[in-house]
Amino acid sequence: MRLNSEAVNYIVDPKELGRPLDLAAIFGREAPLEVEIGFGYGHFLVRKAKEAPERNFLGFELSSKCIRKTISKIEKAGIANVRLVRMDARLGFYFLPERSVSVTYMNFPDPWPKKKHKKRRLLDGEFLELLASRTVDGGEFYFVTDHDEYLEYALELFRESPYWKWEGEEFTLEMPDYFDTKYRRKWERMGKRIYFLRRIKAVHPVGIRELVEEVKEMPHVVLEREGIDVKRLGELVGPEIRFDGGVIRYFDVFENQKGDRILLETLVSEGGISQRFFILVELSGGEVTVKLARRAEVAVTTGVKRAIKLVAEKLGGKILRTNIGN
């Protein structure tokens, strides 16, 4: 994606900044925070931010095209209170400090109607717990869908979640002052019904499992070169390797001509999040270092650390230094 230098200011990469995000530094001020999940072309986010200059707005979106479209809207609007994150919102919320979000909006999430795709839905019990932990006490969550089955699914999740309550009706077909989105316009033109859910944080979750680690130093293992065998790395490729909380899979091993840099293409899936990245094995002098190939490529989680450690164990050899515990 090509961006002009002005646009870069609107984009935040939590993987580079670490957890918990320093929101005052990101926005250059302290103010109540509103978050939109999957902001699409940014109609809603930009309009909200324009209407409330005294608030900070953060958007999570997976699509680069959506980010580009939204940045041009932000520039046209001439506003400075919006930041965008290109990341799965489930991962993104782990980076936010506890009790830091006043309001979250989720408008027309992809419904994934097929049974085998349902697990791709962002909304589930675990996400509602995470969202509650990042929301201020009494903060709000707005969920909007046109999809009958997703509505039923969401209602059931909220009924079961101890962290969220509602006032009045469980859902409504109108919500005064709720702004437009591209999908809202489309569905209304097609005569579809739109369901609005408003939830209020009732209980603060305690002891939630923090998937993303607070990283001061990148995870690594340094081995003694004597006794290691790089050929063994090939044995890691293929099968799913289960660990408590997730699965690791190594897809391929790439070696440079000199044979002193080896890359392992790795996938780690845990807590509903999948990250694909490269682990680097570097042979230098009498030492071999195993670490992430590129710093900003991946959020450091329990599973990512596990994947690095497994590579080191496969190589064999004596561990000289590591910052990865058991």
Tell the residue number behind the tokens 């969202």, with chain if given. Answer: 131
Tell the residue number behind the tokens 């979250």, with chain if given. Answer: 104
State the amino acid at position 87 in one-letter form. M
SS (H, E, C) 172-188: ECCCCCCCCCHHHHHHH
Instruction: Return the structure tokens found at 122.
Output: 């962002």
Q: Which CB, 96 or 312, lies closer to ligand SAM? A: 96
Q: Which CB, 46 or 248, lies closer to ligand SAM? A: 46
**Cα(127)–Cα(123) distance, rounded to whole angstroms?**
6
Which helix (H) or strand (E) segment holds residue 229: the answer is none
Can you tell me whether residue 293 is helix, strand or coil?
coil
Q: Which of 110, 180, 229, 260 is catalytic?
A: 110
Q: Where are the beta strands (DSSP E) in 30-128?
A: 33-37, 56-61, 82-86, 101-107
CA distances from 237 to 136, 167, 307 (A): 44, 52, 12
- Among candidates 13, 6, 7, 8, which has minimal Cα distance to 298? 13
**Cα(14)–Cα(132) distance, rounded to whole angstroms?**
20
Tell me, yes or no, if 110 is annotated catalytic. Answer: yes
In sequence order, the 6+-apart residues with CB closer than 8 A to the CB of 199 are 140, 141, 142, 143, 158, 164, 165, 166
**Cα(196)–Cα(249) distance, rounded to whole angstroms?**
40
Rg (CA), the chain: 22
**Cα(93)–Cα(208) distance, rounded to whole angstroms?**
13
Chain positions contacting ligand SAM, by CB under 6 A? 37-40, 60-63, 66, 88-90, 107-110, 122, 181-183
| Least distance (Å) between residue 189 CB and ligand SAM | 13
**Cα(37)–Cα(289) distance, rounded to whole angstroms?**
38
Measured over the CA atoms of residue 310, residue 315, residue 316 and residue 318, the dihedral's sign is negative
Active site residues: 110
